[in-house]
Chains A and B, each alone.
Chain A
Amino acid sequence: MCFRVLFIMIIIFSGHAFADGIVVDKVYHPYVLPDEQEFEWRLISRQTDDENLLAQRIAYGQSVSDNVMIEGYLIGEKTALEDFKLQAYEIEVRWMITEQGELWADWGMLFEVEKQHNSNDWEVTTGILFEKEFGRTSLTMNLFGVYESGESLQDEFEAEFRLKYRYRWLPQIQPAIELYTGEDYIGIGPAFMGIQRFNGQKQLKWELGFIAELSQTDKDHTLRFALEYEF
């Protein structure tokens, strides 16, 4: 069932994706722990023949119940023409719908609202988060619907799909393959994630991925890195 759905998703999104902007970001897991707080830093560096873009996000998040977490982001960007500056703010809510392992697969939802710093442009995202264990491997998939609106944006609905297939080798090193689709974009590449535990609930998670765009002949590479400190 899972691979049948996955196959259908890839076929559909490979031909008919709508999203624009940076598609490569993070594949979300559908889990929330109560009494958890976190600081997060993400870096995305995208290189094409035409431009270099560096985006960074810092965030603070806190679980507000057994299954809901709220996270606020500040997003900064640097392009070849502009220095690094604050670009947008975002608030994100993650909702763990099912208990891990209870059903055939684990489910969650994600809601995001993003506002551009210097313009009255808004982006609202709703997404489904999915994870399924296969022995020591885990398949994680995200399906997002994005609505953009504002003074310098044409109102439009977009869709994005993200996938990660991870081998839980060691806590600190878990190799994975990641796939991202968006408008005119199909990217795939290797990724790694890991977790280092400290005293009590404190732990540091890291993620690194190198995603190459497949559907175009031009150069389009994205390096992503994320650090998450939970306490």
Chain B
Amino acid sequence: MNKLQYINSLLILIVLWMPTYSWAKTKLFYLTLENNVFTPSELKIPAKEKVKLIIHNKDDKAEEFDSFDLNREKMLFPHKKAVIFIGPLLPGKYEYFGEYNPNSARGIIIVEVSNAN
């Protein structure tokens, strides 16, 4: 394989690698941050399914959503909505918190096999 063929192979692999969009309907779930408190503090979502979490920060200051369990970090700008994609996850409890107010801005995502709402 010469260098040109090698580069061609790389390009083919890059195309194979490129993002593929999922057209399946992603379920929406909502959280609100107000007075440095997330509500609902416990949110149930379905297991083994990707969901879209929309967080509305109603406070005047920014907050940063952080969860090692969920492997997500997201800046929540004041009076704006942020989107976080979660999952697919196994059943269990996944904690998250706000980095600027970790004592009050806390919550749990409960992943259940069924009856999530």
Contacts and interface: CB of A to CB of B under 8 A. Distances in A.
Contact of B3 (A8, A98, A99, A157): A157
Contacts, number: 74
A16 B87 contact: no
A18 B1 CA distance: 12
Contacts of A157: 3, 7
Contact of B72 (A8, A101, A138): A101
A80 interface: no
A107 B18 CA distance: 8
Interface in A10-35: 12, 16, 18, 31, 33-35
Interface string B57-93: 0000010101010011111000000011111001000
A219 to B, nearest CB: 29
Contacts of B13: 5, 8-9, 12, 143
A157 B71 CA distance: 36
B100 interface: yes
A86 to B, nearest CB: 33
The secondary-structure label for the interface of chain B is mixed
Nearest to B16: A5
B71 A133 contact: yes
B14 A128 contact: yes
Contact of B22 (A103, A159, A200): A103
Interface in B81-110: 83-87, 90, 99-100
Given A18-B3, A157-B7, A159-B10, A100 B72 contact: yes
Contact of B62 (A35, A143, A171): A35
A98 B68 contact: no
A225 interface: no
A157 B11 CA distance: 14
A200 B102 CA distance: 9
Contacts of A171: 68
B117 interface: no
Contacts of B17: 5, 128, 130, 143
Interface of A: 5, 8-9, 12, 16, 18, 31, 33-35, 66, 97-105, 107, 128, 130, 133, 135, 138, 143, 145, 157, 159, 168, 171, 197, 200-201
Given A159-B7, A171-B68, 20 more contacts: A5-B13, A5-B16, A5-B17, A12-B9, A12-B10, A33-B64, A98-B19, A99-B85, A100-B84, A100-B85, A101-B50, A101-B84, A101-B85, A102-B85, A103-B22, A104-B19, A128-B14, A128-B17, A143-B14, A168-B68
Interface of B: 1, 3, 6-7, 9-10, 13-14, 16-22, 50, 62, 64, 66, 68, 71-75, 83-87, 90, 99-100
